[in-house]
Structure 1
């Protein structure tokens, strides 16, 4: 079988990307004593290790995003309906947070039976409500306010699936909570299973689903020697892809889990081209895994019947400021203002990988670039108002959740942006 043109292009692009972003050098590393399930296993093999280049020699993601945006390959442009007219094209992800007392779209005082305790900040005792009163205002245009009835009309007879990790589930629960508020109890059902959860609006024949796949590619248990190990197969995706095959609207995300280390790392070996590795630079693994996903999309998705989105990495607020003090989301009640002197998150290395691969794809993928706009919202995390026990709240350094988001909250805005893009597609 001939090598697909895209596969060759992806290989060439990946090589050029890595050569541009990093210096590569070979390094010998003991990867395994014996490989029972790997036909081409070796006891020692040469790995590519990556050393980051100096930051001033790297093309900044903002510059790269602008170049990609000008090509029109990823969906940063949006025509937005306003009073029956189409506004001019603009980057809907560039703007500011504006105080709006009419928010949230979905009132947090209402009961959402599908909301996880982890994200239910008000029920967990969060005393303030100002974090709910902000909307996103693009710099050069307006976006429509989320309308659950209109969204259900868009979804009539269709399946919408969010695919990713717990932050993707954060977005899925936000969408479900906003939609279910306008659906009578007799006309809605939900299955909160694992790895697939689904909410269905029966009178619309619409399904809003979440599939757990933090790497997108396959993660399996396999024997290495005599031991059962977790193997991340960065060149295999079919086991996961079977769940989203045939879905009408797909919203993917994969970022944070690739950078986990130590006890948080969820794999023992990485498999690539029939070989196992105990160690691999996480961004090299990520680039290979995302290329596998991109190949699957290009060869299996009909863009006339399926719309594909990719959500950028969600920022956290646990890091060091320039003055040496640790910044957390604890007791934060307002967003970071654009005129404030504050160290926003440095650009995530995952961003360059994503923004390098998406434009190479033949199937159009709309890019939900929520990273920077979310980074201003240090006030919108659960912090200690998560499902932690009361005694844990007194040890906020250890238990504060500054990664996920309260619902209602920032994920509602991600879905408002998704809603505006779906209206124009």
Structure 2
């Protein structure tokens, strides 16, 4: 049986916005219902907390340092076999709606030299997707919380009116309405919510969000470290609730069309948001932002997979990385890519086939710094490259300690113990783990300076 596959992912969504991951308000009833049917991964982490690099990984199954897409404003290079290439070869038709962020190229924070940020993306820059297409390269440039435009597979501009998350979801429903069932389908729904609106520097929830979610309770890290969450969180929750309402509409359409029982739905986010509580140190190139750090606020993301073999309402405690999603999606389609993609088949983790598996995850950080992170169940350890601009280079041969957290005592990562002699043994162990990861991922073993 060939399953239909939907990859529904949000942008900048923390794991703890979801009821199934601990949010006390009724923000995500539809996702919670899927988690009750399928598998939720309680400890899922992004491998790169910046939009473009993470998307490049999702499309290639390769680290951003290998594809060259280590920061924003770098387009996906030609000559790399992509997720879409593999899955179309396997007999699937493809559809992509929403944000792409992989078709423009140039220096960071400057006008691109190859610029499709607000124009149609040429077919050769669509990563191998040849089917239904309702996409903007940088959706936050072609739209706001309400109203905007994308482009179709024939490069025609398609305007939309209404709340953006609703309208992007409408394009996904449009695809399902015209789907003829001749082939199984793989559809990506790449929502931009709950990303902040860049030109307004504000999270834009549906009208009335501030009133509807006025009784919010901030996650402890945001409460203690301040940032701008106290002002922005109600709109942020409104965005997350809108995403969930649209997930519910998508599920309803699948049921209406008789497709639900044969469709696997993956819900995830590219990375989270720390609401300007991190990245304030002088060595971080002046960034004061929402991501670009190895703390849980930026890396810990929701991940639920439901349908096909992902059943039973399981809650998986193992640490997993969303770097595994391309390989997992292809495995769902009957394609075993072996070592051509990084990561693992998450079905193995869901079904307990974890003998010999290291319970740890790795992340690359860019733009704010060149940083590397390794996380186990007990510790989080990170390094940075002193004096090197993370927007200009993707890697370094020299790093220095950035932070170490004892997650059993300090789960919200509030006390950096990287210089504490009490943790010298733990730091040495985590340092070796990190160096092993870097060597495996990047083909070189750098020096971490004492």
**Range of TM-score over shorter length:** 0.3 to 0.5
TM-score by length of 1: 0.35
Greater radius of gyration (CA): 1
